[in-house]
Structure 1
Amino acid sequence: MRVHFVVHEAFEAPGAFETWAKARGHAITHSRVYLGEPLPASAEDIDLLIVMGGPQSPATTKDECPHFDAAAECELISDCVKADRAVIGVCLGSQLIGNALGAPFEHSPEKEIGKFPIALTAAGVGHPMFQHFGATLDVGHWHNDMPGLTKDAVVIAYSAGCPRQIIEYAPLVYGFQCHMELTAQEIELLIAASEAEFPALTSHRFVQQPDALRANDYRAMNEKLFGFLDLLAAACRREAAMPTA
């Protein structure tokens, strides 16, 4: 499987997603846009596109952030969806999926930073891709916004602070507002990039301070993510094996 990552900032690394891809022997490529690396010209050489998070929003302009081109990323996402490629968006990436499919992002009711539970909806509990998650699962969070919903979107999971944590846009297209890819290493990168902001966030009920973030164990959620990714990879293989009209 050919896995391509779009990475917006060094401190929003692929984390457990890349751990999974390496462990499974998948071919891995990157567009580290913060280093000026280009996006793929098309979906042709991609089986799974993973669009990571970042401090930007889909509304961020190139004047505000020269290395971030929301329109170009939405076009790539759209190309992959039309070509029946698998697409995962994480945080900003999930919001870009919604925008690419005609459902603009929105502000989340609460800012969430830390490890807090998500609850699966009835659709999520019964979904074969997510049954191993259980009814609730503690996962990572680091966001202000949330993805939009298309008419066909299915909310798989929500949290007390955000009603859209995991969304199925299509059988191979998923938005994760939450951060199941976080590891201790990624947490250190995020803390270093945001440390000056924490003193002003003490009144937020879903924001953990750096010491609490470092004390969290992220391995269980990583394993649940690996299970989902294995199921998605199997679905990709079935899709590729289907005869074309």
Structure 2
Amino acid sequence: MHIHFVIHEEFEAPGALVNWAIENNHSTSMTKLYEYNVLPTSAEHIDLLLVLGGPQDPITTTDECPYFDAQKEKELILKCIKANKAVVGICLGAQLIGEALCCAFSHSPEKEIGVWPITLTEEGKTHPKFKHFGEILPVGHWHNDMPGLTPDAVIIATSAGCPRQIIEYSNLVYGLQCHLEFTPEVIDLLIANDSESIACNIDKAFVQSPEVIRSFDYTIMNQAIFTFLDKLLEDYQKTIQETN
């Protein structure tokens, strides 16, 4: 399988997802937008599109951030969806999937930075791709916004600070507002980039100090997303077989 990463910022790296790809002998490619890489123009050689997070939002303009073009990303996402590829968006990536499907993102009720538990909905508890999460799973967060919902979208998980943490848009398309790809190295990058914001918001209910954020073991959430991705690609392979 070929995995393509869309990376908005160096400090919001794929983290553990690269390890998962290597361990499963998947080939990978990356569009590093912060280095002004150009997005793929076709979905042809992509099996799984992974769109990562960033400090932008779907209405950030190219005047505000010259290397971020939300419209072009949404076009790539739609090409992959229409070609029956697997698509996963994380944080900003989840919001862009919703926007590509004509449902606007919105602000989350709470700013979340750190590690906070998500709770699976009734649909999530029995979902074959997510039931291994257990009813409650501590995961990473670094956001102010959340993705929009299509009429057919299914909310898989929520948190105390955000009602849309994991969304199923279709059997092959998922938005994760939360971060299960975090590693200690990515956390250090995020803290270094966002230290002032953390300090200014440390009194908020769902914002943790750098010391607390660094204290967590991220391997359990990493294993959870690895299993999800394995199951997603199993469904993708079935789709390929059914259409051939």
TM-score scaled by length of structure 1: 0.98
Per-residue CA distance 1:12-54 (angstroms, 9 max, x = gap): 0001111101110101000001101110011111000000000
Q: How many residues align?
A: 244
Corresponding residue SS for 2:77? helix
Which residue identity does 1:201 align to in structure 2? N
Instruction: Please state if 1:57 is matched with 2:26.
Output: no
CA distance in 1, matches of 2:127, 2:198: 37
Counterparts of 2:217 and 2:15 in 1: how far apart (Å)?
Answer: 14
Determine the structure 1 residue equivalent to 2:153.
153
The separation in 1 between residues aligned to 2:126 and 2:213, in whole angstroms, is 31
Residues 1:221 and 2:221 aligned together: yes
SS of 1:18's equivalent in the other structure is helix
Does residue 18 (structure 1) correspond to residue 14 (structure 2)? The answer is: no
| Residue identity in the other structure for 1:241 | Q
- In structure 2, C-alpha distance between the alignment counterparts of 1:115 and 1:208, rounded to whole Å: 8
Following superposition, the deviation at residue 231 of structure 1 comes to: 0.5
SS in 2 for 1:242: helix
| In 2: Cα distance, 1:109 partner to 1:229 partner | 28
Higher mean Cα deviation, 196-205 or 71-80? 196-205
Q: Percent identity?
A: 56
Amino acid in structure 1 at the alignment position of 2:203: S
CA offsets per residue over residues 114-141 of structure 1, 9 Å max, x none? 1110000001011111110111111000
Q: Please tell me whether residue 100 in structure 1 is matched to residue 100 in structure 2.
A: yes
> What code does the residue aligned with 2:10 have?
A
What amino acid maps onto 2:95 in structure 1?
Answer: Q
- In structure 2, distance between residues paired with 1:42 and 1:180: 28
**Counterpart residue number, 1:35:** 35
Q: Does 1:129 find its partner at 2:129? A: yes
Determine the C-alpha separation between the residues in 2 that align with 1:128 and 1:193. 37
- Aligned CA RMSD, in angstroms, stands at 0.7
> Partner residue of 1:175?
175
Mapped to 2, the partners of 1:22 and 1:68 lie a distance apart of 28
SS in 2 for 1:43: coil
The answer as to 2:107 corresponding to 1:110 is no
For structure 1, which runs of at least 5 residues remain unmatched after alignment?
A: none
Could you list the runs of 4 or more consecutive aligned residues of structure 1 that deviate by over 4 angstroms after TM superposition? none
Deviation at 1:199, TM superposition (A): 1.8
Could you tell me how far apart the structure 2 residues matched to 1:93 and 1:71 are? 13
TM-score between the two structures when normalised by the length of structure 2: 0.99
